[in-house]
Chains A and B, each alone.
Chain A
Amino acid sequence: MTITDKLRTPTDGPPARRRRPPASTGVYVVKVVGLTLIAATLVSVLPTVVATGQWGFLAVFVAVAALLVAVYSTRRAVPAKYLVPGVTMLLLFLVYPIMLTFQLSTTNYGDGTRSSRSEAITRIVGTSAVQVPGGAVYSLVVGTQGTPTAGPFAFFLVDTQTDQVFRGTQTELTELGPSEVTVADGTVAAADGWTMLTRQQVNAISGADQPLDGFTVPAGDNAVIKVQGFQAITMRTPLVYDKKADTITNTDTGAVYHPERSSSGDRSFFVDADGNRLSNQSWGENVGAFNYERIFTDSRITGPFLSIFLWTVVFATASVGLTFFLGLGLAVVLNDPRLRFQRFYRSALVLPYAIPGFISLMVWSGFWNQRFGLVNQMLGLDVNWLGQTWSARVAVILTNLWMGFPYMFLVCTGALQSIPSELKEAAAIDGASGFTQFRKITFPLLLVSVAPLLVAAFAFNFNNFNAIQLLTRGGPFSSDNPTAGGTDILISYTYRLAFGTGGQQIGFASAVSVVLFVLTGAIAAVQFRATRFLEDVN
């Protein structure tokens, strides 16, 4: 019994063409309102998409809207009416992000490589600028000869020390006499032929890519007059970028910096002849399969990979197995009609499920504390639970058992109640004992409905980052390899590799996600085949 069976049935024979009765007014209204909403949504996102020039998105939005209108405005294409929303969502929210992740995994995107090459160079040169010692500080008013947003603009400057007045453009600095400008409170108030801008107007045209972005007035001797708030200061940058040679020269020291790939292999820095970096700023690049190569060749990753993979499988298997059998056992016991207070017990058992997972995990990490933890205090033990590999693994699995059994309990209770009692009664009449009934009738029937959920639970626990991170952070660690802890599963381990030590390596992390995705998918595929056999047996 599958979805495709259901879908296939009506089309199996020749389609019976018959006139359907006209739709009711209600359906019609819903249809019109729905289609209007789709059109309205499209119209409302259009300005943003067009303004930011995201033409790909625009095409997708228009196509999706057109598809929705085409499918729902007519009375044809009935199967599509059911399929389109789900498939669209699947494509937009699952397939598209995976494609993006894959695309990101071929870049070096991360800390220090977020900007483009030219941005990085501009910033390296820009941030080296310093105020000229003893250089003039001016009060600043910006004037325009045209509109307040397009210019042409000029700086009207009053030296805060000498009260000299200047007009500065991007090409020259001119001193102005008292007849040319009106000065009030130390700033220029008016000048013939110029309109003075308000502070808000100045601020509005100073952001990135605005007319005043990078507006500087030459002040001689390589120095420039630059805006700082509503003052202007004299600044000088010792660095000069030579586009032709692709080098940055420090004019003070004469040092020449050229771009060079660092030993990490995925990014470049400007370095001098001795290899000293000018700046820790690098830039984004496509690195092809480098991130994937790194996963399979970096000894820090491949070294502990096998043992971590095995533990991941053990952890996921043990978590699913233990929670399932505990949940099943409790479900069977509580399903017995002779039991009193059934509802009370059931509610009590679901409690761990009702507490937010991350709170339980934080509390449990305290419970396992050697000296102050509940576990040792109640049992009178002195075990350093989270401090030794094997005890930490036991602690992690037990905690996950506590976290997960209510789910299995709920699932099994539901499945048990759906098994017809006639089957058991028939078996009882045939002389089967209670245990035989369970083993031969109840359990196989239950497994048919629960097995796919077990596969899903396995896949979830395979990547159960929270359970590890919040409980042990992957520890305990050996000093030989502080990147691979005793309870690390693949996802917590790779998380630490990509984000743990400061700099975020998002490109690398994406490559790891893709590999994990393939791995989880393969395991799930194998398991689904196995559950299929289970179904066939029955």
Chain B
Amino acid sequence: MRRIMQTAIAATTVALLATACGGSGSGGSTGKATETAPVRGSQDLVIWTDEVKLPAIKAVADEFGKANGITVDVQAVVNTRADFITANQAGNGPDIVVGAHDWLGQLVANGSVDPVQLSADTIAMYSDKSVQAVTYDGQVYGVPYSIETLALFCNKSAVGDQAFATLDDAVAAGQAAKDAGKVESALNVPVGIAGDPYHMQPLYTSAGGYLFGTTDDGSHNPDDLGVGTAAGIKAGQKISALGQAGVLSTAITADNAIGLFAAGKAGCLVSGPWALSDVRKGLGDDGYTLMPIPGFAGMDPAEPFAGVNSFFIASNGKNKNFAQAFVTGTTSGGLNTVEAMTTLFEAENRPPAMTEVREAVAVANPDVETFAAAADAAAPMPAIPAMDQVWTPLGVAYANIVGGADAATEMTKAAETITAAVAKS
């Protein structure tokens, strides 16, 4: 009997330890995620964002604090979105959270953010695309400040200093450089073993594909899935052809695409503003060209996803008045001023969502203007919950197609999986 007890105790302990390890492991997949959210400060206005955005947000928030005689605390939180949702629900979250517009589906479903009421004049200050992005279920939920999207980087010494009119021209120039032994890859589009629908989106849309149709009011319709339609399959076949030609490869991943290009090993690269510093470091300030992604010859324009960075007001914040005064304010340090948006731009160097600021900085910052022009051609990433069901199946389909599988079969299967998952949610 004692022996059985001992066995039971030992087994339970091991199982407990193992599940404890597994538990912390699942949280710690990035190695940082186990850090707990910071304790909410006692300041008059508390803002959460990520480390990258922190300096810009701090600059503009401090100005608001100074103008209103209040204390402001901007905190960098590792898992900003998840921690915000949890903390807000528990009543110890921030007053404002800064993040990408496509968080909205999740934030609204959890009732974590309040709509903001902006006057028509204020809304008119921002680009239509950015306003469209922060609108969810017919309500404006945030104030946009910068737009991120993909563009085409090319290596001058490999493919020359030219603006490509079509993506085929860029591919051809890249292939020529590859044949000449100058580079190892004609065009770096991250695919990886699991596929990468985000980076594939410009190619997919240019070849005629779409993800979700739109309803009359301009919002995405989860019941109209474009992946398995004739258009989606045709786009899949174009991707398949590029895979067969060796242009697209599962060996190019989000982890190595930028590094290889910056090391001069690729003709062109599809990537976003976050690649700029690596590219400049690797190829020199004058070693690359940058342009909005052109479409394939004789096909549709490329329409990459746009991500709009925005300020959202927490529904359970302790300092709602100051939060609203900051986010909806048009005077005394409020966000909706040219000064505030310029401060944000100067600290972050991302294409501004406010039209006037964008025009003011265009000449001095040609790369920013190029990304802004790319954003004009982009479509805000759908924030609807159905989008969550798209990434994995569509990614797998892309990876398999690039690896040589039949495009029609793969796209149809992906569409079936997505439709079933959307219906279940």
Contacting pair A227 B321 (CB below 8 A) = yes
Q: How many B residues touch A, CB cutoff 8 Å? A: 90
The interface residues of chain A lying within 8 Å CB-to-CB of B91 are: 208
The interface residues of chain B lying within 8 Å CB-to-CB of A479 are: 393, 396-397, 400, 405, 409-410, 413-414, 417
Contacting pair B19 A513 (CB below 8 A) = yes
Q: Looking at chain B's contact residues, is the secondary structure mostly helix, strand, loop, or mixed?
A: helix
Q: A472-B193, A503-B388 are in contact. Are A459 and B14 (CB under 8 A)?
A: yes
The interface residues of chain B lying within 8 Å CB-to-CB of A281 are: 108-111
The interface residues of chain A lying within 8 Å CB-to-CB of B319 are: 203, 206-207
Q: A112-B109, A233-B117, A479-B393 are in contact. Are A516 and B424 (CB under 8 A)?
A: no
Contacting pair A127 B115 (CB below 8 A) = yes
B294-332: contact bitstring with A at CB < 8 Å (1 yes, 0 no)?
A: 000000000000000000000111111111111011000
Contacting pair A127 B108 (CB below 8 A) = yes
User: Which stretch of B252-260, B344-352, B362-370 is in the interface?
Assistant: B252-260
Q: How distant is A107 from chain B, measured CB to nearest CB, in Å?
A: 14
Which residues between 116 and 174 of chain A lie within 8 Å of chain B, taking CB atoms?
119-120, 123-124, 126-131, 137
Which residues between 373 and 425 of chain B lie within 8 Å of chain A, taking CB atoms?
385, 387-389, 391-393, 395-397, 399-400, 403, 405, 409-410, 413-414, 417, 421, 423-425
Q: How distant is A319 from chain B, measured CB to nearest CB, in Å?
A: 13
The interface residues of chain A lying within 8 Å CB-to-CB of B22 are: 463-465, 491, 513, 516
A473 interface residue, CB < 8 Å from B?
A: yes
User: Which stretch of B1-9, B152-160, B163-171, B285-293 is in the interface?
Assistant: B1-9
Q: How distant is A237 from chain B, measured CB to nearest CB, in Å?
A: 11
Q: A208-B91, A456-B17 are in contact. Are A203 and B320 (CB under 8 A)?
A: yes
User: Which stretch of B23-31, B53-61, B172-180 is in the interface?
Assistant: B23-31
Which residues between 519 and 534 of chain A lie within 8 Å of chain B, taking CB atoms?
520-522, 524-525, 527-529, 532
Nearest CB in chain B to that of A376: its residue: B251
Please tell me which one of the listed residues B17, B44, B403 contacts residue A459 in the complex, with CB atoms under 8 A apart: B17
Nearest CB in chain B to that of A465: its residue: B25
A111 CA / B102 CA spacing, docked (Å): 15
Central interface residue in B11, B68, B413, by most chain A CB within 10 Å:
B11
Central interface residue in A4, A503, A524, A527, by most chain B CB within 10 Å:
A524
Q: How distant is A379 from chain B, measured CB to nearest CB, in Å?
A: 16
Nearest CB in chain B to that of A233: its residue: B117
B130 interface residue, CB < 8 Å from A?
A: no
Which residues between 119 and 145 of chain B lie within 8 Å of chain A, taking CB atoms?
119, 137, 139
A24 interface residue, CB < 8 Å from B?
A: no
Q: A460-B18, A521-B11 are in contact. Are A466 and B414 (CB under 8 A)?
A: no
B21 interface residue, CB < 8 Å from A?
A: yes
Q: How distant is A513 from chain B, measured CB to nearest CB, in Å?
A: 6
Contacting pair A230 B256 (CB below 8 A) = no
Nearest CB in chain A to that of B89: its residue: A114
A371 CA / B16 CA spacing, docked (Å): 42
A533 CA / B417 CA spacing, docked (Å): 49
Q: How distant is B146 from chain A, measured CB to nearest CB, in Å?
A: 23
Q: How distant is A283 from chain B, measured CB to nearest CB, in Å?
A: 9
Contact-residue bracket for chain A: 35 or more
User: Which stretch of A285-293, A303-311, A347-355, A494-502 is in the interface?
Assistant: A494-502
Please tell me which one of the listed residues A386, A463, A527 contacts residue B193 in the complex, with CB atoms under 8 A apart: A386
B106 interface residue, CB < 8 Å from A?
A: yes
Please tell me which one of the listed residues B106, B137, B256 contacts residue A372 in the complex, with CB atoms under 8 A apart: B256
Contacting pair B31 A356 (CB below 8 A) = yes
B20 interface residue, CB < 8 Å from A?
A: yes
A199 interface residue, CB < 8 Å from B?
A: yes
B41 interface residue, CB < 8 Å from A?
A: no
Contacting pair A228 B328 (CB below 8 A) = yes
A333 CA / B425 CA spacing, docked (Å): 58
B271 interface residue, CB < 8 Å from A?
A: no
Please tell me which one of the listed residues B17, B106, B409 contacts residue A111 in the complex, with CB atoms under 8 A apart: B106
Please tell me which one of the listed residues B6, B250, B324, B389 contacts residue A502 in the complex, with CB atoms under 8 A apart: B389
A274 CA / B157 CA spacing, docked (Å): 61
The interface residues of chain A lying within 8 Å CB-to-CB of B409 are: 479
Q: How distant is A525 from chain B, measured CB to nearest CB, in Å?
A: 4
Q: A203-B322, A229-B329 are in contact. Are A387 and B111 (CB under 8 A)?
A: no
Q: How distant is A209 from chain B, measured CB to nearest CB, in Å?
A: 9
Which residues between 441 and 498 of chain A lie within 8 Å of chain B, taking CB atoms?
452, 455-456, 459-460, 462-466, 469-470, 472-473, 475-483, 491, 495-496
Contacting pair A366 B139 (CB below 8 A) = no
Contacting pair A208 B316 (CB below 8 A) = yes
Please tell me which one of the listed residues B117, B256, B388 contacts residue A228 in the complex, with CB atoms under 8 A apart: B117
Contacting pair A517 B392 (CB below 8 A) = no
Q: A384-B250, A504-B82 are in contact. Are A203 and B44 (CB under 8 A)?
A: yes
Central interface residue in A111, A119, A279, A456, by most chain B CB within 10 Å:
A111
B360 interface residue, CB < 8 Å from A?
A: no
Contacting pair A525 B329 (CB below 8 A) = no
Contacting pair B321 A203 (CB below 8 A) = yes
A370 interface residue, CB < 8 Å from B?
A: yes
Q: How distant is B176 from chain A, measured CB to nearest CB, in Å?
A: 20
The interface residues of chain B lying within 8 Å CB-to-CB of A356 are: 31
Contacting pair B194 A475 (CB below 8 A) = yes
Nearest CB in chain B to that of A279: its residue: B137
Contacting pair B2 A4 (CB below 8 A) = yes
Contacting pair B194 A473 (CB below 8 A) = yes
A62-102: contact bitstring with B at CB < 8 Å (1 yes, 0 no)?
A: 00000000000000000000000000000000100010000
Central interface residue in A203, A227, A387, A475, by most chain B CB within 10 Å:
A203
A450 CA / B15 CA spacing, docked (Å): 18
Q: List 5 tightest A-B contacts by C-beta distance, closest first.
A: A502-B388, A229-B325, A463-B22, A521-B15, A525-B11
Binding site for B on A (CB under 8 A): 2, 4, 94, 98, 111-112, 114-115, 119-120, 123-124, 126-131, 137, 199-200, 202-203, 206-208, 227-230, 233, 235, 262-264, 279-282, 356, 358-359, 362, 365-366, 369-372, 384, 386-387, 452, 455-456, 459-460, 462-466, 469-470, 472-473, 475-483, 491, 495-496, 500-504, 513, 516-517, 520-522, 524-525, 527-529, 532
- 29 interchain pairs (CB within 8 A)? A4-B6, A127-B115, A203-B319, A207-B317, A208-B316, A208-B318, A229-B321, A229-B325, A264-B424, A280-B108, A281-B110, A462-B18, A463-B18, A463-B21, A463-B25, A476-B399, A477-B399, A479-B405, A479-B417, A482-B396, A482-B414, A495-B26, A501-B391, A503-B385, A516-B19, A516-B22, A517-B15, A521-B11, A525-B7
